Amino acid sequence: MVDWRQNVYNRTLKPGQPRVKIWNSAGLLLTYRCRAACSFCYYSCGPDKDGLMPVEMAIGVWRSLRDLAGQKPKIHLTGGEPFLYWDRLIEIIRAADTEGLGPVDMVETNGSWATSAEIAAERLRMLDALAVRTLKISCDPFHQAFVPIEQVRTLARIATQILGPDRVQVRWTRYLQSPLTSDMAGYIQCIREYPCRFAGRAAGGLARAVADKHLDQLQGQNCLGYLLGTKGVHVDPYGNVFIGQCSGIILGNLKERPLEEIWSGFDPIKASLIRVLAIDGPIGLMGLPEASGYEPLPLYADKCHLCTDLRRYLVARSAYPQVLGPVECYQ
Ligand code: SF4
Ligand code: SF4
């Protein structure tokens, strides 16, 4: 386990100042590909997207988290839809098990692959044998625009039989029996009941439908606290590391440096674009020379909506390619 002083920012702090927390969990995006294209997907996944995480990259994150946090790393496997690459999913879980790194904390799915009870049972038995702790099944009006609710019900039922109720999480159970309509009215009701962050695709039509804040209301909403306090990262199939759920803001790439080095070198007030977000919040991005010409929207849903909208503008102008990417997150 590392000492918190091994982080470059933490070494500059006076006693009592908030520090960069030690990362102890990671969501591995096996792919950006998905049969669905949910209106609230933070990573803008869909059938036209690609990428497949190599086994070695996934295992490298496990090892790094163990070195950072000194415990059994908390890893969840997600996407895109990880079951689209079933063989790779299993290869990764097995490799972690062989190295004594496992078990996997969670595998997330939209259930689109569970087209029959037999297929569902066969795969769930395999996950059971590999001691996957939790299967998380998405169930809300966004997902049900693409996956029939009957299929999700069947998957949830079989998963409960095979894995046991404590190892199955349906997000959200109430919509299993009483689904909302998969239209804007249903989406808005869902995010009122279970608020979401307006990043990725959620910063599109969904955010515009609920936007109620003028630009000046977002003044002073900076992100330093979030950047420092978040203990989890997401890693995409190309090795890009994002903090928390800030999709499309790259802290580093695993093809260049292992995760523990990205953590120890992470200084939220040194790096140019991230510094702006940390100190001034997304409204500060408007002051960047590359953002001149950005036309503010009449209203925003929250600061992440503004952040994503501005970053899209910057990405369209190829600005900050080391920090803003990959393009999959912005399409
Ligand atoms: S939210 Fe999940 S199911 Fe929906 S598009 Fe994104 S990855 Fe696919
Ligand atoms: S405003 Fe941007 S940097 Fe801040 S939390 Fe939201 S997505 Fe992340």
Report pLDDT digits (tens) over 194-209: 999 999 999 999 999 9
- DSSP-based helix, strand, coil % in the chain, nearest 5: 45, 10, 45
Please choose, from the candidates 111, 173, 140, the residue with its C-alpha nearest in 3D space to the C-alpha of residue 41. Answer: 140
Spatial separation of the C-alpha atoms in residues 23 and 152, rounded to whole Å = 33
307 CA distance to ligand 2 centroid (A)?
A: 6
As given in the structure block, the two tokens for residue 35 are 């049969």
As given in the structure block, the two tokens for residue 67 are 């070195």
Can you say whether the dihedral through the CA atoms of 203, 36, 77, 260 is positive or negative? negative
288 CA distance to ligand 1 centroid (A)?
A: 32
CA of 81, nearest ligand number: 1
Please choose, from the candidates 48, 26, 27, 38, the residue with its C-alpha nearest in 3D space to the C-alpha of residue 327. Answer: 48
Residue having the nearest C-alpha atom to atom 1 of ligand 2: 304
From 246, 280, 323, mutation site for ligand 2 pocket: most ligand atoms within 8 A of C-beta = 246
76 CA distance to ligand 2 centroid (A)?
A: 22
CA of 42, nearest ligand number: 1
**Confidence label for 73 from pLDDT (cuts 50, 70 and 90):** confident
Longest CA span, the chain: 59
Q: Which atom of ligand 2 is nearest to the CA of 199?
A: 7
CA of 275, nearest ligand number: 2
Looking at the chain, the whole-number percentage of residues with pLDDT higher than 90 is: 97
Residue 157 pLDDT greater than 90, yes or no:
yes
Does ligand 1 lie within 6 Å of residue 281's CB atom?
Answer: no
Residues with CB under 6 A from ligand 2: 199, 223, 226, 246, 249, 277, 282, 303-304, 307
Phi-psi region of 214 (alpha: psi -120 to 50; beta: other; left: phi over 0): beta
Q: pLDDT tens across 21-62, in order? A: 999 999 999 999 999 999 999 999 999 999 999 999 999 999
143 CA distance to ligand 1 centroid (A)?
A: 7
| DSSP 8-state assignment for residue 86 | H
